[in-house]
Structure 1
Amino acid sequence: MIVIIGATGNVGSKVTANLQHLDIPFLGIRSANGAPDGIRSGDLMDPDFLKDIASNAQSIFSILPGSLYPNWEDYAELLTNAIKESPVSHIVNISNAVIEKNGEPSILNSFETKLNTLADVHIKHLRCANFFDNLKWGLNNGYEGDLKLPYISTHEIAGVASDYLSKRNFVGHSVDVLLGPADYSMNEFCQLTGADSREMLMTEESRSFFEPFNQGAFKIAARTTANTTSNADPRYYLDYFLTNELRKG
């Protein structure tokens, strides 16, 4: 059995669709109430719930929900404790290609480190670029207009994750960097989406997130042929997202 944490999210929903297509059994987990048919909802900060969903799992698809970022250390402790008492042998964990900000490890990089305390569990960390899906939130954000960052399709991430989950063909603790087809700036997205203009908006709450990027105080893997999209699947490229998935207006 494969447990999919975040089964209704941008990546998790595509992982579940891929596993359904392959006729591979899984248990989808949603942390919020109101889960659709076939998906189980529960409190990821409840140790009994975590132990229950891990109790019959061979593999886990892990993604840290944004709502748990403030409590990520507590959640990581609960999750690792549940896995230690389970038959789980493999984990595919979604991380971020930005591994350092302001000279400190990013939250997702630190979460990787905590999972790696599971010495007997094989773990594949997927350090991914920003999602194309982020554009659904709009172009008015705290990024400087000319700042270029890598972006990736969640279809591609789900494809890689689903392959690892179904084959369990990785050993030890390892990392794949997935930087998508190219780097883009907000100004370029503005042109590509046909937006007339954008505002650089930064609240006091979001300042700590955006400022390190604008000041160049972050560390990310260099783009190489190996971590750049090469698959012919059209869903993996920006044109497909802009045409088929970006909500207009």
Structure 2
Amino acid sequence: MTVSPALRLLAIESSTDTLSVAVGTGGPGAVPASYAGAGAAQASTTLLPAAQTLLAQAGWALSTLDAVVFGRGPGAFTGLRTACAVAQGLAYGARAGQPDAPGLPVLPVDTLLALAEEARWQRSQIADAPPLTLVAALLDARMDEIYAALYAVDGEQLRAIAAPVLVAPEALGDWLAGHGAPASGQGLWLAGNALAAYGERLQAVPGERLVVLPTAGALLRLAPGLLTQGLAVPAAQALPLYVRDKVARTTEERERAGAQR
């Protein structure tokens, strides 16, 4: 895909309890128009009106967008399905009287990559901030587990070291060490809402802390590079990334987990 230097993008991130929507170019220094509100089950009622309002504020018709970007997961199942469904619906809706047209490209982005980008960006806004060379993106997966991924930071670029997995809070330190994170924690940042959920159980894990969520703004910043890599897909091929394949434990599993603490 040939990427325009002045992209028109709509981004949707609803993998957590916070819904984030933004429109913008994703270019360096570009300030997107954005919306943040309650996510989870409430996202299904507010997401589409928020997207329509932001497009109107930007003066962009849906059909003029270059792509619809969404956080594909992992994260809250309901939020992921909502983001995917709305992204697909908007992509198809842009056909405007052309039922045989393919619709807009859709760009699915790993939620943990967006989280790592938000952490990188927030630290870059602080003068004389400690160096950040590794980001462990950590989302609360509930059920005493964490969605985790590890990224190397090189300037404004992120490179995946370990793909998203489920890990128990007590196993996080060993998981990071197994992927080359320094035992000293130097240059390593633990970022995400799992820090608030499992703070005491993560005390032994080395590294700086940053409580942060993935945002639609982070999706916009990532989008130009990902589009250049040809990672956009037709709407029908845009699917959530769950990592976990069920939403609740059996009574036996909960009792076993409690006994292992």
Normalised-by-shorter TM-score class: 0.3 to 0.5
